[in-house]
Amino acid sequence: MANTILVGAQWGDEGKGKIIDVLTGNADIVVRSQGGNNAGHTVIHGGKKYVLHLIPSGILRPGKICVIGNGVVIDPVALVREIDGLRELGVRIGKNLLISDCAHLVLPYHRALDEQRELRKGHVKIGTTKRGIGPAYGDKAARTGLRIADLMQPELFTKKLRMKMRENNSILKALGARPISFAQVNADFLAAGERLRSFVANTVVYLHEALQHGKEILFEGAQGTFLDIDHGTYPYVTSSNTTAGGACTGTGVPPHRVDRVLAGAPLETVSLKPKRSEVSAERLYVNQKISDLVAKAETEQADYRRVDANGKAKPINVFFGPEKYFGSAHFSVLVFNTAVLAFFSCGTLGLLHLSLRRQLQTKA
């Protein structure tokens, strides 16, 4: 299958779970590289429905190794709950799951801050899930966040948490919110940390060793291209890089080890409820443009080329056929290689952004 990144071509909810489930069969390792438990996939496998938020969907297939990478922000309590829920459904979780020791933690004060900030935005609120993802990434960027590695050292974690709780409770009090109990959070997180200890590893080293042994890796993207913090419809975005480049920084795997990028794109207008009319116009316009691009490529049966290790050009097909591959008339899967990675990895189409702005200006 080669090393493959799957991203959503739009604002998420493109049905990537169905595509991921198909691709997982040919992968050795499935990696999640960004986001938190504000995203995930719903997969129907073996007649059962599984809702996954943090754990890669490869966990549903025997013999697959699942990795939660360094770019993910993790609520340990929620992750333990997700593991327990999957086990109740008969899913085996043991040595087939690895968690990066460098992944940052989502704590209760992140959720409280997320909620308070959203409330104060009034009618221009972003529509956050209020699960603390943005504030957790904020702490990471500010270099004040706590990581899984800290949680594995109880005394150090308690010391750092006490300082962070004092600081954030002051902020919450100023915002008119209730302070959070340090003792309760500390006890809950240390207990969750012990449950997760056997899964924690240096996943960057693990993935590089896997590459050296010829293992094939599937990078399971969450959300969609236009939710990218840099290239999306800012500020109506998430707090991480949802494009192909985020898969590299979120796992430690370099770009030259990626063979292709897949983008899931529904061929219909997604019925979302944006907060502002211009965002609705963007969505309608871009959805139509993506559909046009798909139709054009189907007509031309386009081929892209890549260069193998010996410098020889090799053709790679851009294949479609939603009904044949995924049983749905609303999907088309675009296969790209590293030579054209930027096409979907920089906000899905820089040209569309330019064209979009001109279109909106004309309408105005």
**Same domain? 109 vs 58:** no
Active-site residue, 292 included: no
pTM to 2 decimal places:
0.76
Task: Please give the tally of structural domains in the chain.
Answer: 2
pLDDT greater than 70 at residue 328: no
Residue 288 — pLDDT band, cuts 50, 70, 90?
A: low
Domain CATH code at residue 189: 1.10.300.10
Q: Which pLDDT score, from 0 to 100, does residue 29 have?
A: 97
- Measured over the CA atoms of residue 222, residue 224, residue 229 and residue 234, the dihedral's sign is negative
Q: Which pLDDT score, from 0 to 100, does residue 14 have?
A: 66
Distance between CA atoms of residues 114 and 141, nearest Å? 16
pLDDT greater than 90 at residue 355: no
**Same domain? 189 vs 206:** no
Domain boundary among 152, 177, 198: 198
pLDDT digits over 195-226, tens only?
999 999 999 999 999 999 999 999 988 888 88
> Among residues of the chain, what percentage have pLDDT more than 90?
49
pLDDT digits over 118-171, tens only?
888 776 677 677 889 999 999 999 999 999 999 999 999 999 999 999 999 999
Instruction: Determine which one of 13, 28, 101, 188 is catalytic.
Output: 13
Output the CA angle 334-329-23, nearest 5 degrees: 45
Report the pLDDT averaged over residues 234-245.
89
Active-site residue, 53 included: no
Residue 162: CB partners within 8 Å, gap ≥ 6? 182, 186
What is the extent of the structural domain holding 132? 104-198
Instruction: Determine which one of 41, 53, 104, 110 is catalytic.
Output: 41
**Same domain? 209 vs 232:** yes
